């Protein structure tokens, strides 16, 4: 099935005090970076609380996930980590058990 996803990433980000708007702006800008990733099936930037943010994305297979992890968003996240985040981003590799895609 062409739109099947099997793996994903769940990234939890905690903004430094006073950097919440900068993190939100950073995440909004990330959307344009993943547009060029054919194996990033779905990508979401999230706000889970006043200073807690996240990224959730899914891929058809491990090679798609690895391509994303070595892509432009991951590089930008690494470059901005010390400035924006209270702690290193917590990146969890997840398996997708079931999904509904448009």
The model's pLDDT over 60-83, given as tens digits with 9 standing for 90+, comes to 999 999 999 999 999 999 999 999
The domain tally of the chain equals: 1
Domain range for residue 53? 7-95
In a domain, 1, yes or no: no
Instruction: Give, for 94, the enclosing helix (H) or strand (E).
Output: strand 90-95
* Measured distance CA(97)–CA(48) in Å, rounded: 23
The crossing angle, in degrees rounded to 10, of helices 20-34 and 72-84 is 170
In a domain, 49, yes or no: yes
In a domain, 86, yes or no: yes
In a domain, 102, yes or no: no
Predicted pLDDT of residue 102: 82
Phi-psi region of 32 (alpha: psi -120 to 50; beta: other; left: phi over 0): alpha
In a domain, 91, yes or no: yes
In a domain, 74, yes or no: yes
pLDDT > 80? residue 1: no
Tell me the whole-structure pTM to 2 decimals: 0.92
In a domain, 100, yes or no: no
For the domain that residue 35 is a member of, what is the CATH number? 3.30.70.100
């Amino acid at each position: 099935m062409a739109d099947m996803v099997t793996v994903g990433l769940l990234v939890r980000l905690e903004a430094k005090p006073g950097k919440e708007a900068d993190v939100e702006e950073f995440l909004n800008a990330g959307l344009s970076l993943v547009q060029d990733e054919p194996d990033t099936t779905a990508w979401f930037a999230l706000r889970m609380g006043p200073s807690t943010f996240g990224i959730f994305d899914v891929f058809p297979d491990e090679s798609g996930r690895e391509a994303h992890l070595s892509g432009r968003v991951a590089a930008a996240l690494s470059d901005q980590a010390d400035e924006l985040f209270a702690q290193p981003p917590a990146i969890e590799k997840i398996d997708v058990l079931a999904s509904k895609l448009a």
